Structure 1
Amino acid sequence: MAAPEFSSALFLPLDRLAEGFAACFAGYVVPISADVRAFEQRLRTEHVHLADSHVMVREGRVVALGLVARRGDVSRVAAMGIVPELRRSGVGHALLQRIFDDARSRGDRSVGLEVIESNAPAVALYERTGFQVRRRLVGWEGTLPEHSAPLEEVPLTTAVAAVLREGEPGLPWQLAPETLAGLTAPTRAFRLGSAVAVITEAGPQDVVLRSLVVAREKRRQGEGSRLVRGLAARLPGRRWKVPAISPEELGAPFFTAMGLRRQALTQLEMVHGLQEGESSSRT
């Protein structure tokens, strides 16, 4: 096969990119939609730069895609997919090398990504190209105990400020305050005392808990659990989900105590150190 040729994703309309995105993830562990609005929200909240992202187009069809997000001197492979007939053909390796070369030319410090842990071919590709595992990311799901509480709905900016002030350092990209700052309705934020939560109603039955933070001096005093139970009472009978983007050591006792079970799906957060001395190890 001839050497793959990539072009900037900036020059394709969003509907074609969204369609190509879904095609490149055909048969993926998690179903991927071609919905343009959902695709645009992903680009916006995760700080994907289309000018620095790459596509491979054949006969008018997107057959490979690498979305690159950027914050400061760190890049992230927000998504990389290849149509089924071109997988294991060297396209993925070539696409990653293109991303690394671009990042080095910008002076970036590192490139990160998340990959579903059970996706063995993808994990092997990333390891072969120099990525190292930083940590495992997990999610939680189930029903929550309901107990009415005097919740205050607050602007999302209040929640972002709370995460900046009280959140754990080094949060994964999708939990970082920069990501929360890009969220819009139907995402909402609620406060009880010093505890602040960000939730998204995902249809009539499911609620996604996007963020939960409690002031450091108020932790282990029940404010977080009272807030969560109050949210469950406000939205009774719903299924609650915490996406698999949380470090496994973060919040496990709390979510277990609240009656949630750990999801079977896990992810690996991986880092490629572009400059000498940059490295990461499994925690």
Structure 2
Amino acid sequence: MPFTVVPATRFSCEQLTAMLNDCFEGYSVPVLMSVSVFAQRFGAEGLSLMDSCVWMDGDNPVAVAIITRRGQSARLAAFAIRPAYRGKGLGKKLLAPLMAALGNDGVQEMWLEVISDNQPGVALYQSLGFTITQGLFGYQGMQPGQATTRSLQETAVMPLVRTLMSASKERLPWLMDPATFITLPCRAFVHQQAYAVVSFLANKPQLRMIYVAPELRHRGQGREMLRALNQQFPALASVVSVPESFTTLFASAGYMTMPISQYEMRAALI
């Protein structure tokens, strides 16, 4: 029986959250988000309800795809199939037409992240034309000991976002791009000449960005910023979207590498 593709615009935020949670049931990494986290997270990432969709089998949701967009780039922010429909080769059958539709709508490239241990998922995306661009990792600080005199000052978010968007010449992972911080509940901090952004989805602090101007790097300022952040937010964790090249920096500041890692993948649509 063919499935019906329904645009996400037909559903409320509550319905989309419930369907996404149902589709992620039994997934290797538990996913269970509230309506508010769904709205804040995907809204900050550039949620496109026009491109996101739900596949229905009668009245039953089969799979959900959440698409985020920035200009001519799109990202598969979430894709999950309900347990009863898994193992039937549906992933490629569902996603291939979706990617074709995005290409016809002017999207030139598509991005996603997948858990690196999820070999079936990696194979699925490779069969759709995605290639691995880099490994992404997460880091977590230790419980700090005696308080130090490190001075961590708060600064305004939007001026920092404008500075980062104009100063950064490097392409960053989607979740670390300064565009994400425009609507994300977050706070910005400065220590010496290093800057950081900490988000607060569900009131839980999470490190989303650390930045030192290129001409000021390799002087220990990034390391001291990370230590100061961990002092203010004990055992602070980063998003699992940090390029592997940052490992030495986080290790020097006393952070541990999280056991979960991801691959960033890209496909050219045009």
TM over 0.5: yes
Is 2:229 the partner of 1:231?
yes
1:69 CA drift (Å)? 1.0
1:233 CA drift (Å)? 3.0
Q: Secondary structure at the match of 2:65?
A: strand
Aligned to 1:148: 149
Q: How high is the sequence identity, in percent, across the aligned residues?
A: 31
5 Å-filtered alignment, 1:25-104, equals 25-104=24-103
Task: Give yes or no for contact 2:65–2:79 (8 Å, CA) kept in 1.
Answer: yes
1:245 CA drift (Å)? 0.4
Aligned to 1:281: none
Aligned to 2:239: 243
Paired positions, count: 268
Aligned to 1:219: 217
> Which sections of structure 1, spanning at least 5 residues, go unmatched?
276-283
Q: Secondary structure at the match of 2:42?
A: helix
> Which sections of structure 2, spanning at least 5 residues, go unmatched?
none
Task: Give yes or no for contact 2:175–2:208 (8 Å, CA) kept in 1.
Answer: no
Q: Secondary structure at the match of 2:171?
A: coil
TM-score by length of 1: 0.88
One-letter amino acid matched to 1:177: P
Q: How many Å separate the matches in 2 of 1:271 and 1:117?
A: 14
Q: How many Å separate the matches in 2 of 1:226 and 1:106?
A: 45
TM-score by length of 2: 0.91
5 Å-filtered alignment, 1:1-283, equals 2-143=1-142, 147-167=148-168, 169-184=170-185, 187-200=186-199, 207-235=205-233, 238-249=234-245, 251-275=246-270
Compare 33-42 and 162-171 and name the one that shifted more: 162-171
- Root-mean-square deviation over aligned CA pairs: 2.0
1:246 CA drift (Å)? 1.1
Q: How many Å separate the matches in 2 of 1:137 and 1:190?
A: 23
Q: How many Å separate the matches in 2 of 1:170 and 1:109?
A: 16
1:109 CA drift (Å)? 1.1
Task: Give yes or no for contact 1:4–1:94 (8 Å, CA) kept in 2.
Answer: no
Task: Give yes or no for contact 1:189–1:196 (8 Å, CA) kept in 2.
Answer: yes
Task: Give yes or no for contact 1:199–1:209 (8 Å, CA) kept in 2.
Answer: yes
Q: How many Å separate the matches in 2 of 1:147 and 1:126?
A: 47
Q: How many Å separate the matches in 2 of 1:175 and 1:51?
A: 24
1:163 CA drift (Å)? 2.5
Q: What whole-Å deviation, never above 9, does each CA across 1:59-111 have from its counterpart, x for those lacking one? A: 53322111111111111111111001111223321221122121121122111
